[in-house]
Amino acid sequence: MSALTQKTLQEITEKNIQPISRWKINARNGIYWSGALLLVVFSALATAVSFHAIFEIDWEAYQKAHFSWIEMLLSGVPIFSLLLLASFLWGSVFFLQHTRRGYRYPMGVLFGVFFFSSVSLGYFIEESPLNDPAERFLLQSLPHIQQLPVSLFPTTKQQWSQPAKGLLGGVVVQSDEKSIQLLDSTQKIWTVEYSEAEVSDDTKLQIDDEVKVIGSQSDEDTFHATEIRKWENSHRQEEDSDEEHVKSEGSSEKSRDDSQEEDDHEEKQDEHEQDDHEEDETDS
């Protein structure tokens, strides 16, 4: 018997080491697998929220408000969601490496596979009807996430709650020819002067209309507007409106085709009746 074997047996005897039963091994393996898969799902949710934030941000407004590229990245990139994604990915790799055969795979390979899976699933969630329920679930799981500064977790509401930087959004509560009273997301009322502003064609500035204003803050509750546009909640609404527009055009074309067919049918009937009438006159 070798010295190593003797030493190992002596340590087993001294520490009273007992073999682990199979059911415990299987249970622990199942727990690690469940944890890895659950964290992959959470990674996908964090990715979907990141996609949602990036798609919802009005990057053109940042340019018109004279944000620098660094300010645009700090204000528009969802840093907190990306940190969540990295944390969930690290946790999923950690759990999988503790499974029965997980130790065989390099950490870099596992991280790459989980990252690709999370991005693919997250993009699918963002572009599917699951987008809103998934985002609500993650936001409710982290109740204070919406109180984070825009540099960590940008949202449309937060983007247009930066009057000091030239971006203001809210609901019109009063309107006249030169100014409007605007109620922002913090329930503060602003006087927005727009006599020299460019107002988009689809913006009527009527009471209860939601608008976005680009300009500069004059004083504590006064804002000088250079551009006013209608509030668009998401890029998906624009896609839906485009689809409705295409459908309406298709239905209009179909109705025109149907009316044209009816006209052709009536003309043929008139021609047929006229021929019958001429034949009757010839016979007589």
Look up tokens 């074997």; give the residue. Answer: 5
Q: Which domain holds residue 258?
A: 238-284
What are the phi and psi torsion angles at 180 (to 5°)? Answer: -130, 155
Q: pLDDT 10s per residue in the chain (284 long)?
A: 577 777 777 777 777 777 777 788 788 888 888 888 888 888 888 888 788 777 877 888 888 888 877 877 777 777 777 888 888 888 888 888 888 888 788 888 888 888 898 888 888 888 888 777 776 776 666 656 656 665 566 677 778 888 888 999 999 999 888 889 999 988 999 999 988 888 888 888 888 899 999 999 988 889 999 999 888 754 444 444 444 444 445 555 555 555 566 666 566 566 655 555 555 555 54
Whether residue 129 sits in one domain with residue 172: no
Q: Are residues 225 and 251 in the same domain?
A: no
One domain for residues 175 and 142 = no
**Together in a domain, 112 and 180:** no
User: What values do phi and psi take at 103, rounded to 5?
Assistant: -65, -15
Pair 15, 115 in one domain: yes
Q: Does 152 reside within a domain? A: no
Task: Specify whether 42 is located in the same domain as 107.
Answer: yes
User: How many structural domains compose the chain?
Assistant: 3
Same domain, 247 and 125: no
CA distance 158 to 228: 17
Which residue's structure tokens are 């415990």?
24
**How far is it, in rounded angstroms, from Cα 222 to Cα 189?**
9
The residue among 95, 116, 147 that closes a domain is: 147
Residue 164 contacts residue 198 (beta carbons within 8 Å): no
Same domain, 30 and 138: yes
Q: Does a structural domain hold residue 154? A: no
Nearest CA to 114 out of 127, 129, 96, 130 is that of 96
Domain boundary among 147, 175, 200: 147
Query: Do the domain assignments include residue 157?
Result: no
Maximum CA extent, the chain:
132
Residues 6+ apart with CB under 8 A from 78: 49, 50, 53, 54, 152, 153, 154
Which is it for strands 189-193 and 179-183: parallel, antiparallel or unpaired? antiparallel
Q: Are residues 225 and 242 in the same domain?
A: no
Looking at the structure, tell me whether residues 271 and 223 fall in a common domain.
Answer: no
Say yes or no: 46 and 83 in one domain: yes
**Any idea what the CATH number is for the domain that residue 207 is in?**
2.40.50.140
